[in-house]
Structure 1
Amino acid sequence: MPLATPHYLIDENALDRNLAKVDRLRALSGAKCVFALKAFATWSTFAQIAPHMDGSTSSSLNEVKLGREKFGGETHAYSVAWSDDEIDEAIANADKVIFNSISQFERYAAKAAHLPVGIRVNPGISHSHFDLADPARPFSRLGERDPQRIESVMDRASGFMIHCNCENDSFESFSALLDQFEAKLGHFFERLDWVSFGGGLHFTGEGYALEALAARLKAFAERYQLQVYLEPGDAVVTQTTTLEVSVLDIVDNEKQIAIVDSAVEAHMLDLLVYRETAHVEPDAGPHRYVIAGKSCLAGDVFGEFDFPEALKVGDRISLLNAGGYTMVKKNWFNGVNMPAIAIRRKNGDVELVRSFDYADYVASLS
């Protein structure tokens, strides 16, 4: 019997296709890949993902602890700002600690002196389609830009984290950025043990020049005699997960509007944040519908799509690419039922791994 909707459905075979590209990049380049838990933290999948990675990286204490407890490998601890009451626990669970600013470095680095300690550097250039997600936007708080301030910790920092890509699907763009990094920061690179270029490189995408990326990273590592890290998150889980929903009602207001048992703000929040639309397959046919959520938000709309047959109450729709930066942001807006989590195993069987109910809703409040 089909699982009740709504639920997120993760496909193991699709994950394997992406992980094979991660394996190839690691093998050809010598770069290490640590999984970015900020993008995807559904730990039921970690047994499949972790063997293809070198560890995990974080944006908070909770993610550091999850990486240590559930993922294994190297556990990198980064946060935009650590607090006094969490830094000791973060260090205790970490293999590498990265500070966002010189002031945080000066405040806490001595506590982590037994570990490799790094600083986030902002080179002032980036690739991002969205100002909201651009680490090098004006007045950015993400990383240090002043060479003199960076120099002040070079005797204690073993590496840099330079994360300035967002959904960069062009090797040429990344290579051009790296040229500029070397021009600006090459004299620092010569004194480091490692450099992380963060995430945001869409190297698992169709047609990406993966071999060229690998060669560029390998040449960089050999030139400066250091270890390169990447921090893929969304690249690992892209096109692996759908949000399965059912039609509850169809209303007519100049357009046919199908209302489903989900909500954009609750279950695919980034569509609103970045003003994008969802995707369905096949998006073709003579019957056009607006697919809308059941919350009270007027703009609760997933998108407008074409279907081969007329929709009716009870029909199921798969909203694509609902893994990265989606499941980690799900919430209880309007008290709409939280989607369950299911995995389609490699043999085709669908297994329910987590469901949520009224008790979870109550427990999330006070």
Structure 2
Amino acid sequence: MQKSELKTPYFMINEAKLIENLEQAKKLKEISGAKLVLALKCFSTWGVFNIIKPYLDGTTSSGPYEVKLGYETFGGETHAYSVGYSEDDVREVADICDKLIFNSHSQLSAHRHIVEDKTSIGLRLNPGVSYAGQDLANPARQFSRLGVQFDHIDPAVFESIDGVMFHMNCENKDVDAFIRLLDSVSETFGQYLDKLSWISLGGGVFFTWPGYDIEKLGLALKAFAHKHGVQVYLEPGEAIITNTTDLVVTVVDIVENGMRTAIVDSATEAHRLDTLIYNEPASIRESSKQGHYEYVIGSCSCLAGDQFCVANFEQPLEIGQQLHILDSAGYTMVKLNWFNGLRMPSVYCERSNGELHKLNEFNYSDFKRSLSQWSVE
């Protein structure tokens, strides 16, 4: 199979780039003594889990199906968390998770009897401080529903749980900013943390960002763990798969209305939803800041504002030309949808030896089945 034979749109995961990130994760583990569990909410493409498993300690989830997926396809430690469990959800995961983290005192009280003798129990705490570029993704935003606030804590609960989780970062590329958050958590909650056996510090710590001081982060985590006598966990998602995957698309038309727009056979609303939600323009491999030809890279959906970015090119774009939308692994394949009945991207992995492996392919029957399986007679 050659890349030239592949029909767009498709995702191409690069094994060599993935391993580069995983080697950084391995280094962090060695320095810090922390354990790392993959955040499936960011990346759940289990077809490449065999590449990831030797480097990480397990998975963490945000819903019952993710728990089952992690347990069945990744192994290691399976952590279960949800903002709001139903009783059925808890019963579904009770026998397959190693740690079950509740979001509130009331959830813990309502469901702990189901899992008390089966798994290690935790509670999410909200530290009231965070690092996030946008309020939409800020776990400590005003009126946050995520975790128990300090002034709402029932101290007695720490006599009957094993650990806590703090998730307080979103794409934090600043090690010093993270250490300040860590110090705040230690100072505010230290009296409770000393009673626990484990603490998860959540995800959003971008330790694979170029130039990130992994040694400084590792030593800070090691000191924190020693101070409170706990096993520390991190829940990386984006840090593991950043810059590993392209979304490859084809220009199907070029139109002009004040600006030239190259329409491609993909859509942010259907295939790269975070581009739309967070208004963060995508990057195109073939573009050039010095290029004289400027184009809107427009989606083929009917949503008027659905576009990937504005980019410049050295030469005019042509219909039939392929473009590579960079860094398209995180929060993409987990959010794919069938809006407009668009063709769903296939998913491939390019192995380190150059071989291409197909991980997933979709067709009309998948679209049809997602809408109904039976009709009213």
Question: Shorter-chain TM-score: what band?
Answer: over 0.9
Instruction: Select 2:111's aligned residue among 104, 108, 113.
Output: 108
Aligned residue runs from structure 1 range 1-366, under 5 A: 1=2, 2=4, 3-114=6-117, 115-147=119-151, 149-284=153-288, 285-366=291-372
1:110-147 C-alpha deviation (Å, 9 max, x unpaired): 22222210000001110001100111011111000145
Q: Secondary structure at the match of 1:19?
A: helix
Q: Secondary structure at the match of 1:184?
A: helix
- Structure 1 residue 44, shift from structure 2 partner: 0.3
Tell whether the 8 Å contact from 1:234 to 1:324 is kept in structure 2 after alignment.
Answer: yes
Q: What TM-score, normalized by structure 2, do the two folds share?
A: 0.95
Tell whether the 8 Å contact from 1:144 to 1:150 is kept in structure 2 after alignment.
Answer: no
Q: What TM-score, normalized by structure 1, do the two folds share?
A: 0.98
For structure 2, which runs of at least 5 residues remain unmatched after alignment?
Answer: 373-377
Tell whether the 8 Å contact from 1:19 to 1:236 is kept in structure 2 after alignment.
Answer: yes
Residue identity opposite 2:250 in structure 1: S
Paired residues, number: 366
Alpha-carbon distance in 2 for matches of 1:149, 1:129: 28
1:42-65 C-alpha deviation (Å, 9 max, x unpaired): 000100011110000000000000
- Structure 1 residue 282, shift from structure 2 partner: 4.2
1:286-343 C-alpha deviation (Å, 9 max, x unpaired): 2211110111111111111111221111100000111011111110010010000011
Tell whether the 8 Å contact from 1:122 to 1:144 is kept in structure 2 after alignment.
Answer: yes
Tell whether the 8 Å contact from 1:18 to 1:237 is kept in structure 2 after alignment.
Answer: yes
- Structure 1 residue 209, shift from structure 2 partner: 0.9
- Structure 1 residue 148, shift from structure 2 partner: 5.6
Q: Secondary structure at the match of 1:200?
A: coil
Alpha-carbon distance in 2 for matches of 1:150, 1:215: 32
1:244-289 C-alpha deviation (Å, 9 max, x unpaired): 0001011111211111000110011111110111001243122211
Alpha-carbon distance in 2 for matches of 1:148, 1:246: 53
- Structure 1 residue 353, shift from structure 2 partner: 2.0
Alpha-carbon distance in 2 for matches of 1:226, 1:232: 19
For structure 1, which runs of at least 5 residues remain unmatched after alignment?
Answer: none
Alpha-carbon distance in 1 for matches of 2:154, 2:163: 11
1:11-37 C-alpha deviation (Å, 9 max, x unpaired): 000100000000000011000001100
1:79-135 C-alpha deviation (Å, 9 max, x unpaired): 001101221111111011100000001111122222210000001110001100111
Tell whether the 8 Å contact from 2:285 to 2:323 is kept in structure 1 after alignment.
Answer: no
Alpha-carbon distance in 2 for matches of 1:96, 1:139: 27
Alpha-carbon distance in 1 for matches of 2:102, 2:358: 39
Q: Secondary structure at the match of 2:54?
A: helix
Residue identity opposite 1:354 in structure 2: N
Q: Which runs of 4+ in 1 moved over 4 A?
A: none
Tell whether the 8 Å contact from 1:55 to 1:72 is kept in structure 2 after alignment.
Answer: yes
Residue identity opposite 2:354 in structure 1: G
Tell whether the 8 Å contact from 1:36 to 1:231 is kept in structure 2 after alignment.
Answer: yes
Alpha-carbon distance in 1 for matches of 2:56, 2:99: 16
Q: RMSD in angstroms over aligned alpha carbons?
A: 1.0
